[in-house]
Amino acid sequence: MLSKIEKPILNAACWPLFAFMLTNSNLAQDTKVDEAALRKAVTFYASFDDSPKGDFGGGSLNLRTRSNHESEPGKFLFSDGFESKVFRVARDKGISGGALECVDVLPRNGRIFFSAQGNIAYRKGGWAGSVSFWINTDPNTMLKTTFCDPIQITQKGAGNGGIWVDFNNAKPRDLRHGAFPAVPEGMKPIPESDPSAPIYWVKNIGFKAGDWHHVALAWKNFDTGQKDGLSTLYIDGKRIGEIRGHDLRMDWDLEKAGIYVAVGFIGLLDELALFNRELTASEVAQLHQRPGLFVGLK
C-alpha cells in the first residue's frame, strides 16, 4: 500500500441514510433483477464451501502465494498453493455454507491470490466489471497489520494500477475504496493526501466480529484513456459513494495480475464473485439479499 493518512469522508453512523439519499437521487432503475443474466455475467466465483479455491472461472481456480524476496527489496517470490495453517475452510460458518477462515498473517508481507487471466473481464481500450464478497471481522480488535485489504486486484500494487477495499491505520479504523491508475515509467504515484486522489473513505466503519457484511464494487470506463472512469462502493446492498472523473488506466499484463484476497485479513471471507460488467444497484441489492445465489455455479 501507499503511505496512509487519515482523511475522513463519511461517518459509518450516517452512511445508511446517506446511501438511501444517494440511491434515490439517481434516475429510477428497474428493480426487477434477471438472476439468469446475473449468473451469466460471472467470470469467477469462489464459494469456499469445500476448499480454499474457486468453483467457477475462465482461468486457474487455484490459490497462489506472493511474498517479498528475502534479500532483494522490491522483488517478489511466487509459489503455487497456500499456507494451510493460515487459510482454511470453516464449514457451515459462512454467510452461505462454508467460508474462507483467515487466522493469521503470512511472513514477508505474504498474500494469496487467484490469477486474473481468464477470471476478470479486463480489456485494453475500455472495460467494465464488478466484484462482490462478504466479510466477518472486527477491524479494530482482530487485525494485526497496519493496513488490511480484503480485496485488491492489481499487477504491481494498490497505488499502481489497483482496485481495492481496505481497512486503514486509523483508530478506530476506516473502510476505504481506491481505484488508482497505473503509474507511467519515471512518474510518481498519486499521493493519497492529494484531495483529488481516486479514493473514497467511510469513517469509523464499526464492523464487529460475528456480523456479516456485504461489500461490492462496480466500475466502468476503465482503460479508456479519458477522465471518465467510475467506480461505485456498495455496503450491505446500499450505494455508499463513488470515485469518478479520473483516467483509470490499470494497464495490466493479465499473466502477471492477480485477484488478491484477505491481504492482512483475519476473520471470515465468503462468496467471492467477479463479473464482466458494471452491476446495477438493484443487482447488488439482490446479491445482498441472496448471498448463496451462485452456489452450484460450475
pLDDT value, residue 70: 87
89-112 exposure pattern, b = at least 16 Cβ within 10 A, e = fewer: bbeeebbbbbbbbbeebbeeebbb
pLDDT tens for 40-49 read 999 999 999 9
pLDDT tens for 152-195 read 999 999 999 999 999 999 999 999 999 999 999 889 999 888 98
For residue 216, pLDDT beyond 80: yes
Domain 15-289 belongs to what topology?
Answer: Jelly Rolls (2.60.120)
For residues 194-217, give the mean pLDDT.
Answer: 96
Helical residues (DSSP H) of the chain, grouped into ranges: 15-25, 35-40, 281-289
For residue 122, pLDDT beyond 80: yes
Residues 6+ away with beta carbon under 8 Å from 158: 1, 2, 149, 152, 164, 166, 178, 180
Average pLDDT across the chain, whole number? 91
pLDDT tens for 3-41 read 333 344 555 545 444 444 444 444 334 478 999 999 999
Residue spans of the domains in the chain: they are: 15-289
pLDDT value, residue 3: 34
- Give residue for cell 476473520: 267
pLDDT value, residue 14: 52
- Tally DSSP H helices, then E strands, for the chain: 3, 17
For residue 208, pLDDT beyond 70: yes
Q: In a 3-state reduction of DSSP, which class is residue 85?
A: coil
pLDDT value, residue 298: 81
pLDDT tens for 249-261 read 999 999 999 999 9
For residue 281, pLDDT beyond 60: yes
pLDDT tens for 69-111 read 988 888 899 999 999 999 999 999 999 999 999 999 999 999 9
76-80 sheet: strands from edge to edge: 76-80, 64-68, 111-115, 258-263, 148-157, 160-167, 175-180, 199-202
pLDDT value, residue 18: 47
pLDDT value, residue 7: 42
Q: Please report, in angstroms and rounded to a whole number, the separation of the first and last CA atoms in the chain.
A: 34
